[in-house]
Structure 1
Amino acid sequence: MNKKRFHPDHHTYTRYLFFTGKGGVGKTSSASALAAYLAGKGRQVLLVSTDPASNLDDVLEMPLNNRASAVPDVKGLYASNIDPGEAAETYKEAVVGPYRNLLPETAVAQMEEQLSGACTVEIAAFNEFAELLTAPNESYDHIIFDTAPTGHTLRLLELPSAWDDFLQTSTHGASCLGPLSGLADKKTMYEQAVAQLADASRTTVYIVARPDTSSLEEAARTAEELGSMGMREQVFLVNGLFTPSGTEDATASLFASAQQKALQQAPDFFEDKTLWTLAYHAVISTGAACLTHLFDEPSVVEDPEPFHEAGPATTVEDMVQDIEDQKYRLVFTMGKGGVGKTTMAAEVASKLAARGHAVHLTTTDPADHLAGVIDLDNLSSLLTVSHVNPEEALSDYQKTTKDEAIAAGVSASELSYIEEDLSSPCTEEIAVFQAFSEVAARADNEIVVIDTAPTGHTLLLLEHAEQYTKEIERSSGHTPEAMKQLLPRLKNPDETAFLLLTLPETTPVLEAERLQQDLGRTGIYPKWWVINQSFAAAQTNDPLLRKKGIRELFWIDYVKKNLADKIVTLPWDANAGKKAQTIS
């Protein structure tokens, strides 16, 4: 394994640059910095976010939508967000619009309802993504994609193959897309998009990681999976490599040692690869004109402002005590990728089990990091663990629905229609939702702690709950009791506690604030905020980490004064993310 400092002057660039990686590794900052650099060299650059929980607006300090907008102060740079909701409305109107004056209103209404689910959102987002990859004009020298966290990006890239298989075998027109959606008309465009992604002369994948074990492991898995899809032109960026100042500081020493150990123990996949590193910065400046400083070495200016108390002196034990006292049956950890949701879910579940409660810990994140933070071989007898696995959920759902149809005595032609419907790529999302509702129903007998997927995809899951329920009723003829009870259970403040996690930094706090607002519109309100991995709370004396800690205090105070009544502020911890011992 070779390590070199990354500087954009030393690289060449294809037309399409694709940034992906684990949540919270700095994909958006890295992609934006490179976009600003290339525009500064006289290139025409389009920067596009495909993340449903995009924070590109925050990084560029400008509002964005589906249409490309010129970025102030950086000539030649344009940016847009592929907003899933907006894309879905545009897609739905393109499908339904031609029939508005030709079909009865009831038929049009049925088409609109059928095109209101999460699958339509997914397809609409990919349409916009594919159109950028296949546009015949060369208006931009480079198009840079800032993507969602790994698991959902892989799902996005696998969709064309899944849809192609479905279209080739579909004979009845059955699927949640609607029989008149015209998906087959897009087949050529999807094939062209996939070809562009696999063309090493046109597309480069930047796989971004942090110098920590879980991030590097996911980067290796991602590289292999993308390689199997034909995307083999890959660059590995390790963001935030810290160099101590030389002062005697235990936190700085532990921080640097933990990073070096993670690099030394990196997966064998990287043995013959080059890891391009970016320096650790106390503050990542926002605004496109400032972003290229990410490629510079950090500067440290002593800040005379003293540390003050980094937040309320409450602990995770206090939070667990509150969960126990209030008798909550469902506990969710939510937030932006990389803020420590999985680790916190495992810690809360372990502490509840240690207090004598029967607990079930599960994750809805396709990336499934639970095995990395809890010792599955030494679980407490009161603690069980699962993962809502999309493939297993789909297989179970297909089998159950088909078996129920046969038991109900449907005809051969009706069964053929049901089988085709169940083979639709859309069915996986519905199956995952049903599996999610069944896990939540375990709260009747035990406390269920749920580690959720990163923000945007969790919101899509909750927002489309009603549509998923309708789809299951349509395909199976009935609605399972677990699904009927799910939304009332989630909205019951006496039964369910949402723990909102963030880091004491600009983007994570602002994104957590938006998540809290979105949840509030559905009648859901977080019980606790957890501000994780704070250098201010660690009381470090290293100049660079101290500079970061002083900046953190602004955001800790902001959360305390404006967003939350119950807060846990956790100091940076070298052991964060290590496997919890739960044996008893």
Structure 2
Amino acid sequence: MVSGKGGVGKTTLSSGFARHWAQQFPNERILLLSTDPAHSIADVLQVEVSNTAIALEDLPNLSLRAIAADKLLQDFKAKYGTILELLVERGSFVEKGDLSPVWDLSWPGLNELMGVLEIQRLLREKVVDRIVVDMAPSGHTLALFGLMDFLDEFLAALELFQEKHQVISQSFMGRYVPDEVDWFLLEMKADLMNGRQWLHDQTQTACLVVAIAEWMSLLETQRFLRSLKTLAIPVGGLLINQVVDSTSDVNQYSDQQTLICKFLELSVPAMLLVPQQPLEPVGSKALDSLMTQIRMADAAPLISITVESRIPEPILPGFSDFIAEGRKLVLIGGKGGVGKTTVAAAIALGMAHRHRDRKICVISIDPAHSLGDALGTYLGHDPTEITSNLSAQELDAKQVLDQFREDYLWELATMMSGETTSPNLAMRVAYSPEAWRRIVSQALPGIDEMLSLIEVMKRLESKEQDLIILDTAPTGHLLRFLEMPTALGDWLTWIFRLWIKYQNVLGRTEFMGRLRTLRQRVMQAQKQLQDPQHTEFIGVCQAKSAVLAETQRLTEALRSLGVPQRYIVNNRFEPEHRFDPQLFPNQTIVSLPVLPKLINVSHNSLRNVPFKQIEMAASLLFHDQEEQIN
């Protein structure tokens, strides 16, 4: 498994490693599998990739595949759908036919869930001998690993549904005969146990963590390694990608050497250095060449080089004044690692400086938060004051989910259980809402997008801020966030239809009124996301082929969702590496030059580095306004 902060080169190295394995073990079947909803295997290997495993022409023992969650869900439905509908029918008041529409709704965490189940199937059925998993960025990787605990509780709840059926059968028929549902539960529990053993077995499994020699990457890698240790996931090693040598730019070399020494302090089995390539390592030949250049890191003494950081010149055009234009919400999105957090924080700081009488808030909704790293301070769920009129926060999905349970989910669990007031103790136990409460007590991986939507809705409705800037998750999960109003609206519509059918039994008129209000708020949020006077989406990219290809796909997806987009930021712009602006004919390209990494700070004040970069980026992005002010 290969994971790490977005944009550090996970796909490049997982692709190279898969090719290396295929060459090393020519008689074994190797699979390179992506679980990222916005995968870029095809862009890196320059071949077509789909949900069906396709062998490489030059390495026929290596196959490529990208998880298509919707397709796998349909396969899962075909195999187990009838049994699951029967189980839920036994654990609730609904008839089996009422459950059929659920399969067509959008499921939070579907990519992660289908990814885990499919990997378990591949290993169980011995379809391949070795799997290299190109994973989503670290926050969503941890969500996937957390699925094992979720599935444990989910199966326990399903067993309670079946227990209810057993109690009823015993009470009315005097006996119980095991059926297909019992065998299904036994099979799923065995698969889960085997999957958990596989995940924690260091003789079979390892997570390779990829990073780059930048301060924000170091901080996120530290957190990621701690989380992997807590989850007992074996770490195979740490790869520092894009390392320059002493003959390269002296500023960058000095910066990297300082940070590599920090990485060497981490407790990992091995640390490897991957050299920066003169050209993008895309295609088989470039990847094979890259793998031969990887070397072990050593604790060589730090060479102190005194250099003068060059402050880049601003490049026109810059951003317009979002507050003067009446915007209330600005979303920053793009492929992992392109600089979304830097741009989000810079826009917030620039607007706060320009409008000192207005309140600005920048919010991270990425489960792998790095906004606090960028601003050089600790951030939590509640807003933290950065300046007198600028606050920042990193949404804590657990806190939002706890409140959402109190507001809606506990009562929904009771309603779905069909709780009875029968004086018969066995019947009361069987019909208790315990099973449903166990389900909603779990944080379904992938639910972050829904919870983020709920929290952003509250912020917009309160009108406490004049402008909110969202630092979002990478592309695939950003799109799930933007699709969430429709998805949540569809789920609520399904619940309303159930209630209308069974309202004489259920009652709960007041609760349904609250759900109707929630749906109205969700639909209002959808209108605001599509209103160009209210919402501004800004894409961030870099002049790299894989990044540009994903940015084009994101731009097209935004168009289909009706989300307005005027700007694309070309981050880390270098004059010698321009891209054709006709790739994005309907957007204005705003170029943000490469920022000096350490900006002449002492070794003891490294944590201040990102914030100094944010200040510099703000002045560069809003250069047009600065000229007007002066």
Shorter-normalised TM range: 0.7 to 0.9
Which residue number corresponds to residue 91 of structure 1? 76
Which residue number corresponds to residue 269 of structure 1? 266
Aligned 1:323-362 pairs, distance under 5 A: 323-356=322-355, 357-362=358-363
In the aligned structure 1, how far is the partner of 2:393 from the partner of 2:313?
Answer: 34
Determine if the alignment matches structure 1 residue 31 to structure 2 residue 28: no
Which residue number corresponds to residue 191 of structure 2? 189
Aligned partners of 1:47 and 1:79 also within 8 Å: yes
- Assess, with a 3 A threshold, how the Cα gap between structure 1 residues 44 and 173 changes in structure 2: closer, same or farther: same
In the aligned structure 2, how far is the partner of 1:116 from the partner of 1:183?
Answer: 24
Which residue number corresponds to residue 544 of structure 1? none
| 2:215 counterpart letter in structure 1 | T
The farther-off stretch of 492-501 and 423-432 is: 423-432
In the aligned structure 1, how far is the partner of 2:58 from the partner of 2:471?
Answer: 41
Q: CA deviation at 1:161?
A: 0.9
| 1:351 counterpart letter in structure 2 | G
Which residue number corresponds to residue 542 of structure 2? 503
- Give secondary structure in 2 for the equivalent of 1:367: coil
Determine if the alignment matches structure 1 residue 439 to structure 2 residue 459: yes
Question: Mind listing any 5+ residue stretches in structure 1 that lack a counterpart?
Answer: 1-17, 175-179, 247-251, 299-309, 538-549
Which residue number corresponds to residue 127 of structure 1? 117
Aligned 1:380-459 pairs, distance under 5 A: 380-401=387-408, 419-426=437-444, 428-429=447-448, 430-442=450-462, 445-459=465-479
- Assess, with a 3 A threshold, how the Cα gap between structure 1 residues 517 and 191 changes in structure 2: closer, same or farther: same
In the aligned structure 2, how far is the partner of 1:337 from the partner of 1:374?
Answer: 19
Q: CA deviation at 1:373?
A: 0.9
Aligned 1:240-251 pairs, distance under 5 A: 240-245=242-247
Which residue number corresponds to residue 567 of structure 1? 589
Determine if the alignment matches structure 1 residue 22 to structure 2 residue 5: yes
- Give secondary structure in 2 for the equivalent of 1:527: strand
Q: CA deviation at 1:311?
A: 13
Q: CA deviation at 1:56?
A: 0.4
In the aligned structure 1, how far is the partner of 2:120 from the partner of 2:204?
Answer: 14
Q: CA deviation at 1:238?
A: 0.7
Aligned 1:54-69 pairs, distance under 5 A: 54-69=39-54
Give the TM-score taking structure 1 as reference length: 0.80
Aligned partners of 1:500 and 1:528 also within 8 Å: yes
Q: CA deviation at 1:402?
A: 6.2
**CA displacement, residues 428-447 of structure 1 (integer Å, 9 cap, x when unaligned):** 45444422432344557521
Q: CA deviation at 1:220?
A: 2.5
Which residue number corresponds to residue 141 of structure 2? 153
- Give secondary structure in 2 for the equivalent of 1:419: helix
Q: CA deviation at 1:296?
A: 4.3
- Give secondary structure in 2 for the equivalent of 1:278: strand
The farther-off stretch of 22-31 and 480-489 is: 480-489
Q: CA deviation at 1:118?
A: 2.1
Aligned partners of 2:159 and 2:185 also within 8 Å: no
Determine if the alignment matches structure 1 residue 228 to structure 2 residue 260: no
Q: CA deviation at 1:97?
A: 6.1
- Give secondary structure in 1 for the equivalent of 2:238: strand
Q: CA deviation at 1:75?
A: 3.2
In the aligned structure 1, how far is the partner of 2:99 from the partner of 2:10?
Answer: 40
Determine if the alignment matches structure 1 residue 367 to structure 2 residue 392: no
In the aligned structure 2, how far is the partner of 1:466 from the partner of 1:501?
Answer: 25
**CA displacement, residues 527-580 of structure 1 (integer Å, 9 cap, x when unaligned):** 20001012x23xxxxxxxxxxxx4x22xx22x3454443111121112497125
In the aligned structure 1, how far is the partner of 2:84 from the partner of 2:276?
Answer: 56
- Assess, with a 3 A threshold, how the Cα gap between structure 1 residues 523 and 245 changes in structure 2: closer, same or farther: same
Which residue number corresponds to residue 426 of structure 2? none
Determine if the alignment matches structure 1 residue 494 to structure 2 residue 536: no
Aligned partners of 2:20 and 2:291 also within 8 Å: no
- Assess, with a 3 A threshold, how the Cα gap between structure 1 residues 78 and 170 changes in structure 2: closer, same or farther: closer
Aligned partners of 2:2 and 2:207 also within 8 Å: yes
- Give secondary structure in 1 for the equivalent of 2:57: coil
Aligned partners of 1:519 and 1:525 also within 8 Å: yes
Aligned partners of 1:433 and 1:468 also within 8 Å: no
Question: Mind listing any 5+ residue stretches in structure 2 that lack a counterpart?
Answer: 90-94, 163-180, 295-311, 378-383, 422-430, 497-510, 599-608, 616-630
- Assess, with a 3 A threshold, how the Cα gap between structure 1 residues 154 and 342 changes in structure 2: closer, same or farther: same
Aligned 1:448-487 pairs, distance under 5 A: 448-471=468-491, 474=495, 477=512, 478=515, 479-480=517-518, 481-487=520-526
In the aligned structure 2, how far is the partner of 1:267 from the partner of 1:327?
Answer: 48
Which residue number corresponds to residue 302 of structure 1? none
Aligned partners of 2:398 and 2:443 also within 8 Å: no
**CA displacement, residues 409-452 of structure 1 (integer Å, 9 cap, x when unaligned):** x9877865763452244394544442243234455752110000
Aligned length: 518
Determine if the alignment matches structure 1 residue 523 to structure 2 residue 565: no
Which residue number corresponds to residue 610 of structure 2? 578
- Give secondary structure in 2 for the equivalent of 1:227: helix
Which residue number corresponds to residue 257 of structure 2? 260
The farther-off stretch of 326-335 and 351-360 is: 351-360
Q: CA deviation at 1:506?
A: 0.5
The farther-off stretch of 559-568 and 386-395 is: 559-568
- Assess, with a 3 A threshold, how the Cα gap between structure 1 residues 186 and 461 changes in structure 2: closer, same or farther: farther
In the aligned structure 2, how far is the partner of 1:27 from the partner of 1:402?
Answer: 37
- Give secondary structure in 1 for the equivalent of 2:536: strand
Q: Percent identity?
A: 23
In the aligned structure 1, how far is the partner of 2:554 from the partner of 2:414?
Answer: 43
Aligned partners of 2:157 and 2:436 also within 8 Å: no
In the aligned structure 2, how far is the partner of 1:197 from the partner of 1:414?
Answer: 34
The farther-off stretch of 573-582 and 197-206 is: 573-582
- Assess, with a 3 A threshold, how the Cα gap between structure 1 residues 99 and 162 changes in structure 2: closer, same or farther: closer
Greater C-alpha radius of gyration: 2
Which residue number corresponds to residue 77 of structure 1? 62
- Give secondary structure in 2 for the equivalent of 1:326: coil
In the aligned structure 2, how far is the partner of 1:189 from the partner of 1:267?
Answer: 38
In the aligned structure 2, how far is the partner of 1:460 from the partner of 1:297?
Answer: 38
Aligned partners of 1:405 and 1:415 also within 8 Å: no
Q: CA deviation at 1:27?
A: 0.7
- Give secondary structure in 1 for the equivalent of 2:351: helix
In the aligned structure 2, how far is the partner of 1:358 from the partner of 1:482?
Answer: 23
| 2:392 counterpart letter in structure 1 | V
- Assess, with a 3 A threshold, how the Cα gap between structure 1 residues 324 and 455 changes in structure 2: closer, same or farther: same
- Assess, with a 3 A threshold, how the Cα gap between structure 1 residues 294 and 115 changes in structure 2: closer, same or farther: same
- Give secondary structure in 2 for the equivalent of 1:533: strand
Determine if the alignment matches structure 1 residue 118 to structure 2 residue 157: no
The farther-off stretch of 284-293 and 61-70 is: 284-293
Q: CA deviation at 1:160?
A: 1.4
The farther-off stretch of 416-425 and 184-193 is: 416-425
In the aligned structure 1, how far is the partner of 2:414 from the partner of 2:390?
Answer: 36
